[in-house]
A and B are shown apart, each in its own frame.
Chain A
Amino acid sequence: ELKVEQNPLFLSMQEGKNYTIYCNYSTTSDRLYWYRQDPGKSLESLFVLLSNGAVKQEGRLMASLDTKARLSTLHITAAVHDLSATYFCAVAKGASGTYKYIFGTGTRLKVLA
C-alpha cells in the first residue's frame, strides 16, 4: 500500500525566513504533485513533478523530486504572510489514464508577521 508522509505537520515561521517541507512516499512513482489549500477552500495546483531531478519554481516556492530517495521537497524562500495555508503533496498511482492521487498528511504553514 502506497503511503505518503509529510513533515512537519505544523510549521510556524517568521516572515523573511526560509524553510523546507518534506514529502516521503513508500513505493516507486515518478509523478508527484503539490497543492495548496486555504481554510475551507479547494485544492490549488502548485507544481507537477514528473521525473527524477525535476525542479520547479514559482515565486517564493520551489519544489523538487528525487525518485530514488522517494522524496520531494517544497522549499519556501523569504516567507510572507500570504503563504500561510496547508500544503499537500500527492503521488499518482494507477494506469491507463486514471491516476488516483494518494495525498500526504498535509503541512499547515503559518507565517507570522
Chain B
Amino acid sequence: EPEVTQTPSHQVTQMGQEVILRCVPISNHLYFYWYRQILGQKVEFLVSFYNNEISEKSEIFDDQFSVERPDGSNFTLKIRSTKLEDSAMYFCASSEGQGYDQPQHFGDGTRLSIL
C-alpha cells in the first residue's frame, strides 16, 4: 500500500540552527499538510499546501517556518532558527482529490529535538 515517507526519523539540532524536514507524499495525492505533536499532547495543524502554494496556516506557523515542494515528489518543512519549544514530532500528511471521503494519510514522523 502506498505510504507517506519522512526523513530523517530523528533530528537533533542546536537552538538557533536551521532544520529541514523532508516528506515524500503518496504519488497521486495533491494536498499536503504538516502537523506537529509535542510529547504527550494532541496533534496540531501547522500548514496545508495545494497547487504550489499555502492554503492555510496556523498561528504556530510563523515567519520562522516555510514549506516548499522543490520537485514533483518532495515536500519540505523548514524552520529557519529553531527554538527549544520547536521540539516535537512533526508529521507530514497527504490526501487525494478534493473530496473528503478519503482520510489524510500520515507519515511516521520526524522527531525533532532542539538542544
CA distance A38 to B91 in the complex (A): 14
Tell me whether A33 is interfacial, beta carbon within 8 Å: yes
Tell me whether A42 is interfacial, beta carbon within 8 Å: yes
Residues from chain A with Cβ under 8 Å of B35 in the complex? 101
Contact among A42, A92, A101, A103 with B109 in the assembled complex (CB-CB below 8 Å):
A42
Total A residues in contact with B, Cβ cutoff 8 Å = 25
Indicate whether A33 sits within 8 Å of B42 (C-beta atoms), given known contacts A94-B48, A97-B31: no
CA distance A57 to B97 in the complex (A): 25
Indicate whether A98 sits within 8 Å of B56 (C-beta atoms), given known contacts A43-B91, A103-B43, A105-B42: yes
Residues from chain B with Cβ under 8 Å of A96 in the complex? 55, 98
CA distance A105 to B44 in the complex (A): 10
Total B residues in contact with A, Cβ cutoff 8 Å = 28
Residues from chain B with Cβ under 8 Å of A102 in the complex? 45
CA distance A2 to B24 in the complex (A): 30
* Contact B31–A45 (Cβ < 8 Å): no
Which residues of B23-56 have CB atoms within 8 Å of chain A's CB atoms? 30-31, 33, 35, 42-45, 48-50, 55-56
Q: Chain A residues in contact with chain B, CB under 8 A? A: 31, 33, 35, 41-45, 48, 50, 88, 90, 92, 94, 96-106
Return 28 A-B CB contacts under 8 Å, by A number. A31-B100, A33-B104, A35-B106, A41-B108, A42-B91, A42-B107, A42-B108, A42-B109, A43-B91, A44-B106, A50-B101, A88-B43, A94-B55, A96-B55, A97-B50, A97-B55, A97-B98, A98-B33, A98-B50, A98-B55, A99-B48, A99-B95, A100-B45, A100-B56, A101-B45, A101-B104, A102-B45, A105-B42
